[in-house]
């Protein structure tokens, strides 16, 4: 009974392609997030959604488009992939407020 799950776990694709990553949580949380962890291991927030509504968009290129069909799901679509998009993308969830966040296993994206 995985709490926060992501698919796929690995994604290898060529520059210029479009790809999606899916995330689901069964913790009953109302807020979900996407983070990017680059090659230097720095973990940075990209987006935050609360009850399907976008709360945070941290100056991410508009090639990245999150979508939340319901509060248990948050997907990330990336258009026109670039070499610099290679990273590990983590989904997370929490209750809204000053609470800890729980992370999915990550999607390791490699753009060639």
Partner 1 sequence: RKEVEQDPGPFNVPEGATVAFNCTYSNSASQSFFWYRQDCRKEPKLLMSVYSSGNEDGRFTAQLNRASQYISLLIRDSKLSDSATYLCVAQPSTDKLIFGTGTRLQVFP
Binding site for partner 1 (CB under 8 A): 31, 33, 40-45, 48, 50, 55-56, 90, 96-106
The answer to whether 109 touches 87, Cβ cutoff 8 Å, is yes
Task: Indicate the residue among 15 and 43 with the shorter CB distance to partner 1.
Answer: 43
The answer to whether 72 touches 4, Cβ cutoff 8 Å, is no
CB of 31 to partner 1, least distance (A): 6
Task: Indicate the residue among 18 and 99 with the shorter CB distance to partner 1.
Answer: 99
CB of 106 to partner 1, least distance (A): 5
> How many of the other CB atoms lie within 10 Å of CB of 108?
15
Q: Whole-angstrom Cα distance, residue 96 to residue 81? A: 31
Burial zone of 7 (CB within 10 Å; 0-12 exposed, 13-18 middle, 19+ buried): middle
Task: Indicate the residue among 1 and 16 with the shorter CB distance to partner 1.
Answer: 1
CB of 8 to partner 1, least distance (A): 15
Task: Indicate the residue among 56 and 72 with the shorter CB distance to partner 1.
Answer: 56
């Amino acid at each position: 009974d995985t709490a926060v799950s992501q698919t796929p776990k690995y994604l290898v694709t060529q520059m210029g392609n479009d790809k999606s990553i899916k995330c689901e949580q069964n913790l009953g949380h109302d807020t979900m997030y996407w983070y990017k962890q680059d090659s230097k291991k720095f973990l940075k927030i990209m987006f935050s959604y609360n009850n399907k509504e976008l709360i945070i968009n941290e100056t991410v290129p508009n090639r990245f488009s999150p979508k939340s069909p319901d509060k248990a799901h948050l997907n990330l679509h990336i258009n026109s992939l670039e070499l610099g998009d290679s990273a590990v993308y983590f989904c997370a969830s929490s209750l809204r407020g000053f609470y800890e966040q729980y992370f999915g296993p990550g999607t390791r994206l490699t753009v060639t």
